[in-house]
Structure 1
Amino acid sequence: MKIINEILTILMQLMWKVVRPEDLKLGDHVYRYGYYGLYSHHGIYVGEGSVIHFTRTKSQKTIFPSVLKTSYKQEVSSSCPECGYQESINRGVVKTCLNCFRQDGKKLQSLHRYEYGWPLLRFKFARRGTCTTLLDTKLPHQVVNKARELHANNLFGDYNLINNNCEHFATYCRTSYRASEQAAFFCECVGKIKEAKEWTMKKLLWRN
């Protein structure tokens, strides 16, 4: 049974970039899925079982209201006994334990390692929010220092789903560039939907 579990773990690591907490390295850009895998939440592993990540900075409307509503009720009632994190109080750039980072409602999601420097052709077929074509040229301690600096002063501006989210934060720590592949993909999809709608309207008008 132990051998089977080890084989399954290796397969998951290869196929889904799943990483065990004990295998994390300083400066790793990690993420976990949320809301049935529709989006991914990102952060930087800074050692000692802690992740620095960027969260909503104020009571903003979201495309996932039911999940956040449930999470909010849980956080208001108590703070994390391990790291003291409380979502209703701690906003912006926060430092939490791995379990708080992995928390999605009542479920602990698996951790994944974000990858850099993907070739463009390979990237086009990859799931957005899991990798980027950007190169990470920083050393691990530089990544960690940048994350700690932003956390100490809460210096990453207001959270914005499209222009300034958790993936922007993590890629900035790793590359000094703010980039969010899942946000870019979302905007691309919205653009194509608008184009399709306009094309359909023109066809209908032409027929009339």
Structure 2
Amino acid sequence: MGLLSNRVKRESLKPGDHIYSWRTAYIYAHHGIYIGNDKVIHFTRRGQEVGTGTVLDLLLVSSGPARSQLPCSTCTPHQEGHGVAASCLNCFLAGGVLYRFEYAVNPAIFLAKTRGGTCTLAISDPYDVVVHRANYLFDNGFGCYNVFKNNCEDFAIYCKTGLLVLDQGTIGQSGQAVSIIGGPLAAVLSTPLRFVTTNVYGMAATAVGVYCASRYAADIGMRKDVVKVSVEDLTRRLASGLLQVVEPQILVNPVQQSPQLAAR
């Protein structure tokens, strides 16, 4: 992997890796957890879904495995009732390129990768814990799919870190959701700063600066409104509808976790 690309070869994958592949002309990427033996567990829109009510509902329809007239002989049959699926790597990629999401990245590298949804400042848990979470959620579900609050990237980040956003009314952990919203938002927020410079390049630089600052602050590794929740407790809360009720004393800052848990 290089500074500007997280592209990897299949033979370099390890169980517990968070992988993704771009869809819809690089507008959106589909994310999942590689569990070994050419299998990926990922969160799709096949279960219950809360739409945005906007054109994004049409643009982001590719967050699922490849569809074919003939079922894949190696994919695990889809569980009815929720959107967590287990697919072979080929069906997960759906003809796209394989990338690996990076954890515990340097802040400078994080900002250099201006497009969200490729890396985070947060630290990953050990690979066996990650695989356990993914398998458990395959059996029990991950709630309702929501493009901005509970999407495939949110699923993969939770599997890797065990972290959830405390306030379910705000945007989730997804870096690509922040990017989709962040561009127009940066332009709006930078408008009051137009008196600093009337130069077009200066105004553009100001907007980029606001965008980068918003991405940095919204990253799961920097946010204060996150909690560490066990996967068993998560599914109990989902079943009872009490996901939003989380004790504030278990708030953590993932950047401050033990460096022994850092993903390679």
The answer on whether the counterparts of 2:24 and 2:59 sit within 8 Å (CA) in structure 1 is: no
Q: Deviation digits for residues 106-162 of structure 1, max 9, x if unmatched?
A: xx11111110112223312212111011111x11111100110011111x1100000
Residue in 2 that maps onto 1:168: 154
Residue in 1 that maps onto 2:178: 184
After TM superposition, give the deviation of residue 189 of structure 1 in Å.
2.3
Higher helix share: 1
Letter paired with 1:94: A
| Greater than 6 Å deviation, 4+ residue runs | 196-200
Residue in 1 that maps onto 2:20: 31
Residue in 1 that maps onto 2:112: 125
The answer on whether the counterparts of 1:43 and 1:169 sit within 8 Å (CA) in structure 2 is: yes
After TM superposition, give the deviation of residue 168 of structure 1 in Å.
0.6
Q: Deviation digits for residues 92-114 of structure 1, max 9, x if unmatched?
A: 111110011101xxxx1111111
The answer on whether the counterparts of 2:104 and 2:121 sit within 8 Å (CA) in structure 1 is: yes
Is 2:123 the partner of 1:135?
A: yes
After TM superposition, give the deviation of residue 81 of structure 1 in Å.
2.6
What is the rounded CA distance, in whole Å, between the counterparts of 2:39 and 2:24 in structure 1? 23
CA 1:47–1:64 in 2, change beyond 3 Å: closer, same or farther? Answer: same
What is the rounded CA distance, in whole Å, between the counterparts of 1:109 and 1:91 in structure 2? 25
After TM superposition, give the deviation of residue 54 of structure 1 in Å.
0.5
Unmatched tracts of structure 2, length 5 or more: 165-172, 195-264
1:63 pairs, out of 24, 47, 56, with: 56
The answer on whether the counterparts of 1:76 and 1:86 sit within 8 Å (CA) in structure 2 is: no
Residue in 2 that maps onto 1:95: 86
What is the rounded CA distance, in whole Å, between the counterparts of 2:58 and 2:82 in structure 1? 17
Residue in 2 that maps onto 1:6: none
- CA RMSD for the aligned pairs? 3.0
Residue in 1 that maps onto 2:75: 83
Tell me, what secondary structure is at the counterpart of 1:77? coil
Residue in 1 that maps onto 2:234: none
What is the rounded CA distance, in whole Å, between the counterparts of 1:85 and 1:110 in structure 2? 24
The answer on whether the counterparts of 1:30 and 1:42 sit within 8 Å (CA) in structure 2 is: yes
What is the rounded CA distance, in whole Å, between the counterparts of 1:165 and 1:117 in structure 2? 21
> Aligned residues: percent identity?
34
Residue in 2 that maps onto 1:152: 139
Q: Which has the higher contact order (CA 8 A, sep 6+)?
A: 1
Unmatched tracts of structure 1, length 5 or more: 1-12, 201-208
TM-score (norm 1): 0.73
What is the rounded CA distance, in whole Å, between the counterparts of 1:25 and 1:18 in structure 2? 14
Matched residue count: 179
What is the rounded CA distance, in whole Å, between the counterparts of 1:146 and 1:65 in structure 2? 30
